[in-house]
Amino acid sequence: MAKVAYYPGCALEGSGGPYDRSTRAVVKALSLHMENLRDYNCCGAMEVKNVHPMLQTYLSSRNLAIASEQMGFDTVMAPCNGCYHNLKKAEFELATSEDALETVQDLAKKADDPVYKGDVRTVHLLEWLMEELGTEGVKSRIKKSLEGIKVANYYGCMYTRPRQIFPEKDQGEGSESSYKPHFMDDLLGAAGVENVDFPLRTACCGGAHTLSDADTSTQLVLNLLQAAEDSGAEVIATECPTCHSGLEMHQIRAEKVFGIKTNVKIVYFTQLLGLAMGLSPRKLGVHENISDSIDFFKQKGVI
């Protein structure tokens, strides 16, 4: 079984803590193996590229080089869409532009950092779980089916766009689709949930301007929350800490500033998966979510 270097990134170290805890708990319970990416740096999220695009490329190449040159790993696994996107983008750019590769290697030498040489790939947690276990593998570990829970799977922007930087997607049977991603649907479906047909699965939550243009973000998040409720969902499953915090935050902001209340719960897909595997909600950080789903899960007999 392949071992991966786990890159949690800054969000999972801070506000996305429940995602980090539930990821670790689920990975352990599934007997998969990962090792922390040693002394990683921030990927620059969506912000740093606006200061200069090379900064974003360099920050990601440094992380990839730590995995391959210092740890001897050929795969980095990131559960955060922002980190995942930036690593994939660096991978793509450095494979297609010799100039960019030269600049990155030159900067690394100047900074006494490990030098990126390629030979290392990035996968999202969703992709890793599908690759290692698939739906059948997950099904065999389910102790408490989540039957009767209606879920809208929300993938956001950075997991699939722009499709050019994800050459392994859209390769037919078994691969992820950039147009209509389904890996989270597949995994949670295996855990027993009822996936609703959610049209805004890859719509934008305004995460890049979640604070700097808060009214726009609140509108975009409200679109998602209301569309999910209209689709019959009780829960929105997330696979990105920025989307997750944005949804939680602007759900409250919509209520307090605009007087529009929505009831759909916002839960990390790893928390749902963990509950179905019989792990305790505390271990999965369900208590730490701002969107309070404890009573809901009790009502459904899950906890």
Partner 1 sequence: MAIHEKSLIDAERLKTNDSLVIDGVDVSGHWNTMITPRTLRNYEEKFEETIQSYGGENVHRCWQCGSCTNSCTMYAQNVNFNPRYWIYLTRLGLKDELIKDKDIIWQCVSCNKCTNICPKDVRPENVMKAIAHWMEEEGITEETPSTKFDNEFWDQINKRGRIEDGEVLANFFKKTGQSLKQDWLIEMIKRMMKHLPITHLFHSGMHAVFKPKTKSWGKTGKVLEAYVKEQKEAAHG
Residues binding partner 1 (CB under 8 A): 10-11, 13-15, 17, 39-42, 44-55, 58-59, 62, 107, 110-113, 157-158, 160-164, 178, 203-204, 206-209, 211-213, 216, 219-220, 248-249, 252-253, 255-257, 282, 287-288, 290-292, 294
Which is nearer to partner 1, 66 or 152 (by Cβ)?
66
d(CA 26, CA 277): 8
Closest C-alpha to 275, from 261, 263, 287, 259: 287
Residue 24 DSSP SS3: helix
CB of 169 to partner 1, least distance (A): 12
CB of 28 to partner 1, least distance (A): 20
Which is nearer to partner 1, 160 or 262 (by Cβ)?
160
Which is nearer to partner 1, 114 or 189 (by Cβ)?
114
Closest C-alpha to 67, from 127, 1, 131, 7: 7
Q: What is the largest CA-CA distance in the chain?
A: 58
**Beta sheet of 194-195, edge-to-edge order:** 194-195, 150-154, 235-238, 265-268
Q: Is the peptide bond before 199 cis (omega within 30 degrees of 0)?
A: no
d(CA 102, CA 248): 42
CB of 107 to partner 1, least distance (A): 6
CB of 302 to partner 1, least distance (A): 16
Which is nearer to partner 1, 212 or 299 (by Cβ)?
212
CB of 90 to partner 1, least distance (A): 14
Which is nearer to partner 1, 87 or 187 (by Cβ)?
87
